[in-house]
Structure 1
Amino acid sequence: MTEITTDPSVLKKRLLSLDVFRGITIAAMVLVNDPGDWGHIYAPLEHSKWNGCTPTDLIFPFFLFMVGVSIVYAMESKLQTVSHSKLILRALRRMGLILLIQYTIQLLFHPVLSHLRLPGVLPRIALVYFICTVLYVKTSQKTRDWLFVIALVGYYIIMNFIPVPGVGYANLEPETNMGAWLDRLIFTPDHLWSQSHTWDPEGLLGTIPAMATGLFGIRLSTWLKRKDRDDSTKVSWMFTYGAISVAAALIWDLFFPINKALWTSSFVLYAGGLATIGLSLSYWLIDVQGYKRFTWFFVVFGANAITAYVMADFVPHYLSMIHGDAKGNPFYHAFFLNFLSPINASLASALFIVLAVWVVMWVLYRFKIFIKV
């Protein structure tokens, strides 16, 4: 069930750099999801066409990385006081609630059950959160490290060497890879990504490496919480881990391309390495050195991350109705396009939506309301 707390001690227990890093990720997610015009977008704010990686491609794995980090900070102290079965049951309920939110939003905006998209961003977050929670509660860090390796190597073997039924050979093309075949078999084409109905960028098989992204966050969080290392040592090794991971990803990219839509193993290492570097930098500047003056804007997003993501669906929808058009961003045509070039007007419209969502989140933050889904 949804838990709403106004206890100020909740925020004090949080790692500030974690909320800031997660807040930056959520703000970026809203920015790239709500341009004024999809035909006029700066290249870094678009997903890569297939292989390769843009800054936009990093947003989702950064969030899943932070899910892993958050699991440790939320549950470490509870492992000794709360039964494991109760912790897993709570995680199962949370997964179910996130799925319910996703499908309810879809049906509110597109009330056609026969074409309900079953995979998606929130379903992947829900599955990764639940799987990683179970693994954190029930396994040791050594076991999780082995599972991380097995997931990445196993996914590489499945995608590159097992023939795809109906195709006859393994491949990494959008509509004919093993993941696309499995999604059509289990979900049926009518319940996949609306633009193609032949494959889905958040498909079922891709949950395996996405889980590894969450385990990456758990590994970094357990290191960050160690009491036998000083902060300088922690940050130095985090930078080292991140750099090694990125280097390994670039090597693996030569024969298993970095690809966000397929969530390839090289993509896991690449995004995880960059997330590690980003989090270590945030931790050093904010929590160690105390540079906190400009953090409040992103903390507002990070303290209610899932709520902000959900509001990013509702706020543009209801703002657009002011202009009498429930489709798209009306401010692009009605205001920004009168003063700016099409591409800058599109960006300005997206920034306006970010600010509008932030205002809603600020109200919750101002009254110390933290919604735990």
Structure 2
Amino acid sequence: MAEIKGEHGLNVSEELPVSDKKLPKSKRVASLDIFRGLTVALMILVDDAGGQWPMIGHAPWNGCNLADFVMPFFLFIVGMAIPLALKRIPNRLLAVKKVLVRTLKLLFWGLLLQGGFSHAPDNLTYGVDMKYIRWCGILQRIALAYLVVALVEIFSRSAQASDPEPTQLSIFKLYYWHWLVLACILAVYLALLYGMYVPDWQFTVHNPDSIYNGTTLTVTCGVRGKLDPPCNVVGYIDREVLGMNHMYKRPAWRRSEACTEKSPYEGPFKRSAPSWCYSPFEPEGILSSISAILSAIIGLHFGHVLVHLQDHSSRLKHWLLLGLALLASGLILHFTHAIPLNKQLYTLSYVCVTSGAAALVFSAFYIMNCHCRLIFGV
């Protein structure tokens, strides 16, 4: 079997097993572990301090604040870890079984943690009202991306053996199936986002603190291709498939200038606030989660570069060039008003900017790790 030849700064050198009876103990990729730890710390920071400092919390709609990098960073890390984990499992059936089990675990914990089981932990109030359970969430999105990308990796693995040591350019050709899946997902997402008709819709306010509690409000749409809060296809699909009662009740758009008097802080709604300000919206909804798979596929490619390219300079050149290209593409799409940066919709520009940023941050950690190994000899 092929051997992955690392240098002194790499932590992944190991021989691929010839059977799955006794898998060798895998070694950690320090740079990826550091990046994962940073992302967890970033998540804790924005969750705890985002309300006090809105400039680091989620952008109310268009834009990209610090908190908006957390989800795509996690998806990038998930994608990058897949080839490192699955290369040790040559048995396709065993690999699929492990992927399915992990996916089910993520879905279970996602529903338990964000589905509404814990209403008020301080008061020891638990239990789920199935009429209002939230079906979507962060772990559910990660589970979907992991499942799709891992299965693509497993079932396209036979084509990868033809070129065990690809070059900077041939690595794209070697994994053409992955890019084909990415293109198909992007085409479906854009076709629905800009082509589906969004009709007028109604909802009933269920909020005891609101003056409109129990009132049915109407939102006027009747449009195609709009990316504004009330009339986008992402929200329309979630309302039709999930139902209003199963969506997130406090979306970030409540802090927008159209809704609140203290924007970007969350405060009392304006008297002139449009009706959609009072409605729920699912930031981890169906169509946006399909788009989120793109972040994991890009991370998957970076993992392949780590596995196949044999020296630090080649890896870094590939990562940095691709990361800068993604970042520039996303910024151009946003500032030319072609496709705005939007985490709630998980737009193409958002995918490009956040994936490019993930690539550059990971590359920085990789460089630091290599220098530390050179200096300290560990």
Q: Normalization by structure 1: what TM-score? A: 0.69
Give yes or no for the alignment of 1:274 onto 2:284. Answer: no
| Residues 257 and 42 (structure 1), Cα distance of their counterparts in 2 relative to 1, 3 Å cut | closer
- 1:62-141 correspondence runs (5 A): 62-78=73-89, 80=90, 82=91, 84-105=92-113, 106-109=116-119, 111-113=127-129, 114-139=131-156, 141=175
Q: Distance in 2 between matches of 1:161 and 1:220?
A: 32
Whose RCO is larger (CA < 8 A, sep 6+)? 1
Which residue in 1 is equivalent to 2:62? Answer: 51
1:161 matches 2:164: no
**Aligned-residue offset at 1:252:** 2.0
Distance in 2, matches of 1:131 and 1:287, equals 32
Shift of 1:273: 0.7
Misfit runs of 4+, over 4 Å: none
Residues in 2 aligned to 1:111 and 1:173: alpha-carbon distance in whole angstroms: 35
Tell me the distance in 1 between the aligned counterparts of 2:193 and 2:117.
33
Aligned pairs for 1:291-302 (under 5 A) are none
Offset, 1:42: 5.2
In structure 2, the partner of 1:61 is: 72
TM-score of the superposed pair, with normalisation by structure 2: 0.69
Kindly indicate whether the alpha-carbon contact (under 8 Å) linking 1:191 and 1:197 is maintained by their aligned counterparts in 2: no
Q: Give the structure 1 partner of residue 291 of structure 2.
A: 209
Is the 2:249–2:281 Cα contact (8 Å) retained in structure 1? no
Superposed displacement of residue 48, structure 1: 1.1
Matched length: 277
State the identity %.
28
Shift, 1:32, TM fit: 1.1
Change in Cα spacing, 1:289 to 1:242, as seen in structure 2 (3 Å) is same
Q: Distance in 1 between matches of 2:374 and 2:112?
A: 40
User: Which residue of structure 2 lines up, in the alignment, with residue 243 of structure 1?
Assistant: 324
Structure 2: gaps of 5 or more residues: 1-23, 120-125, 160-174, 201-220, 251-277
Report the Cα distance in structure 2 between the residues aligned to 1:265 and 1:102, rounded to whole angstroms.
25
Deviations 1:110-136 (CA, angstroms, capped at 9, x unpaired): 524221111111110111111111111
CA contact (8 A) 2:76 2:355 kept: yes
- Among 213, 224, 232, the residue aligned to 2:306: 224
1:174 aligns to 2:219 (yes or no):
no
Take 1:277 and 1:32, find their aligned partners in 2: how far apart are those partners?
Answer: 21
**Cross-structure match for 2:243:** 188
**Matching residue of 2:17:** none
Give, in angstroms, the shift of residue 108 of structure 1: 3.0
Alignment CA distance shift 1:15-1:48 (3 Å): same
Letter in 2 for 1:157: A
- Range moving further from structure 2, 277-286 or 99-108: 99-108
1:59-88 deviation line (CA, Å, top 9, x unaligned) = 11001000001111111221x2x2x23322
Contact 2:46-2:66 within 8 A present in 1 as well: no
In 1: Cα distance, 2:184 partner to 2:62 partner = 23
**Are the equivalent residues in 1 in contact too, given 2:223–2:231 (CA < 8 A)?**
no
CA distance in 2, matches of 1:104, 1:207: 19
Structure 1, unmatched stretches of 5+, are 1-8, 294-373
Q: What's the secondary structure of 1:225's corresponding residue? A: helix
Kindly report which structure 2 residues correspond to 1:309-328, keeping only aligned pairs within 5 A, or say none.
none
